[in-house]
Amino acid sequence: MPPEQPLLAFDTSAAHCAAALLWRGDIVAQVREPMAKGQVERLMPMIEEMLAGVGLHWRDLGAIAVGVGPGNFTGIRISVAAARGLALGLGVPAVGVTGPEALAYGRGGLLRVATPAARGALYLQDFGGEAPLGPIREGHVDGAEFWPGPGVAMIGDWPEGRGAVCPDPAARVCAIAFVGARKVTAGAGLPAPFYLRAADAAPPSDPPPVILDA
């Protein structure tokens, strides 16, 4: 990606639409709209408005970075499909950034990063600075190895009162942009949704319709 071309980052893996524009090493625009649903209708117009605010068009983009989860199943599918479609239509690279990668961006020392999961659980991942020390896993507050040991900083969406650092959503989408830029330079592949569990939605209980022969 030539340095003069901006990178677009966006994320709908949580209850929001969030986007940021990284250009020549700086975040030049960002926007976030909280929403539990409706991301599929709002994402592209929101990004277009953000681009117009700094005098840019879709054709000016040099790369795409997208949040791939773990998180909301529908939101992840929306944003990953949008990123891959934009990459194909514009002829630019697209990469995926996980939520824990974004939270670990710019930090040092030993970290345990947490993002929300279903049913009161958290997705956890350990880092040494920005380097992952193990896979993303699901943990519960009363489970073994949930809380980190001494000297390990807690970053993200931990229960209140535990001295954790919780970056705001705007900072997270900006981190997706910076981590994404590194991945583009490294030649990372196209983004794909990151899921740790199957969707909670169950198949319909009604029997399928009977097709009658003519």
pLDDT value of residue 26: 96
- Classify residue 152 by burial, with Cβ atoms within 10 Å: 0-12, 13-18, 19+: middle
pLDDT value of residue 198: 55
CATH of domain 7-98+169-186: 3.30.420.40
Residue 31's nearest CA partner among 10, 14, 13 is 10
Residue with tokens 């947490």, as numbered in its chain: 114
> Per residue in 168-185, is it b (16+ CB within 10 Å) or e — as a string?
eeebbbbbbbbbbbebbe
pLDDT value of residue 75: 93
pLDDT value of residue 135: 96
The pTM of the whole model exceeds 0.75 = yes
Rounded to whole angstroms, how far apart are CA atoms 39 and 53? 20
Instruction: Tell which phi-psi region holds residue 89, choosing left (phi > 0), alpha (psi between -120 and 50) or beta.
Output: alpha
Beta bridge partners of 27: 22
pLDDT value of residue 201: 43
Hey, is 32 helix, strand or coil? strand
Each residue's pLDDT tens digit, 104-138: 999 999 999 999 998 889 999 999 999 999 999 99
Which structure tokens are listed for 149? 């040991």
**Consecutive 10-residue runs of the chain (214 residues): their mean pLDDT?**
81 95 96 93 97 97 97 93 97 97 97 92 96 96 92 94 87 97 96 77 45 46
Do 99 and 69 form a contact (C-beta atoms < 8 A)? yes
pLDDT value of residue 208: 44
pLDDT value of residue 189: 94
Give the DSSP letter of residue 207: P
| Bridge pairing between strands 63-67 and 94-97 | parallel
pLDDT value of residue 209: 44
For residue 136, what are the CA distances in angstroms to 67, 99, 196?
15, 10, 8
- H helix intervals, the chain: 39-53, 73-90, 99-104, 169-186
